[in-house]
Amino acid sequence: MKELLNRIKNIIFFIFICLILLSSCTKKTYDKIYPTLSDGRYDSEFPYRNCSEQLEKISKTVKKLNCLVFYENYLFSEDKKITKSNFKPDNLKKDAILAEITNESVLGTATIIYYDNERIAFLTCNHIIDFPDTIFSFYYNNSSKEKYISSVSIKAKQMNHIRGIPEGEELEILATDKKNDIAFLGKKITQTNENIPFFNYPCGESNNLEWGSFVYIIGYPMGFQMITRGIVSNPDKIKSGSFLIDAVFNRGFSGGLVLGIKDGVPNFELVGMAKSVPYKKENILIPETVNENFEYDSYSPFKGNIYVKSKKNISYGITNSVTIETIKKFFKENKKKLESKGYNLESFFN
């Protein structure tokens, strides 16, 4: 009996020692899986803790940008033999065989980066608001030394809107950079008691992004506010002012924030802005639109007017983003211009 009790004691002691050793191993394993995050580098792993609260606050500073442009279109007969050299704007209505007004709209994303109770400033992509003043189309004629104009479109009005802005939704274009696809928009406010949130996380250093660096992107693809994630590829391209992310990009995401995480959440930093994706362009024939709900008969030949439209087929999963360093440089080049209009963005970029 005594020998049996001793065996039981030995077994209990052995189990106790095993539990201690297992606990020690678990702690060591945990340390290996979650090493110290204070390495000063951008994280390349999925966040290990919840950051929904911070992302929700950031998302409130990201807005849907609508740009609506109206064009006066004039169509000319080839017999008129109107060229760019003899084109006279004053004779448009007299020479045109058809005149009509059309509109184009572009959807994008803009972020509030400045607010001082008198003015609001937004960061976005230039191509969202960049529409030419005049567009010429020509007849195809190889025998002619000079091309004859078939139509001309003249911009009559442009409106840049963000819903929910106090005292109207239309914005002023403060500064643009067509090459790097950056723009600052602004709005003056005379009276408001509203607490308008603005992006107040630090600007990071996209030069320090590495292969596999984890990022969040916030924007308005197809008009719906969404947040997605991606990883950085080909960081060497950053020297040219942009970098690649594997995030799924759709129309409306242009201008979306790209957020890096340094030393764990919630240490977000603005490292760039999503701007474009590769695409293949093709021309297609489309019928004259009667209304959005009209359904054409696919079994009968269409007898109405037919137009040529350019269609862009997006290559999903390759998102091109402008670096924060390029955005900073653009700000410095336009600092005096912005300050003359009452926008002091120094605090945001510093």
Tell me what pLDDT residue 28 has.
Answer: 36
For domain 52-289+298-345, say whether CATH 3.10.20.440 is its number. Answer: no
Tell me what pLDDT residue 258 has.
Answer: 95
Tell me what pLDDT residue 118 has.
Answer: 87
Distance (Å, whole) CA 47 – CA 59 = 18
Does the predicted model carry a pTM greater than 0.85?
Answer: no
Tell me what pLDDT residue 172 has.
Answer: 93
In the chain, where are the structural domains located? 52-289+298-345
Query: From the first residue on, what is the mean pLDDT of each consecutive set of 10 residues in the chain (350 residues)?
Result: 57 57 41 56 84 93 95 90 85 87 92 92 96 89 75 93 79 94 92 81 92 93 91 77 83 92 90 80 73 70 75 70 94 95 90
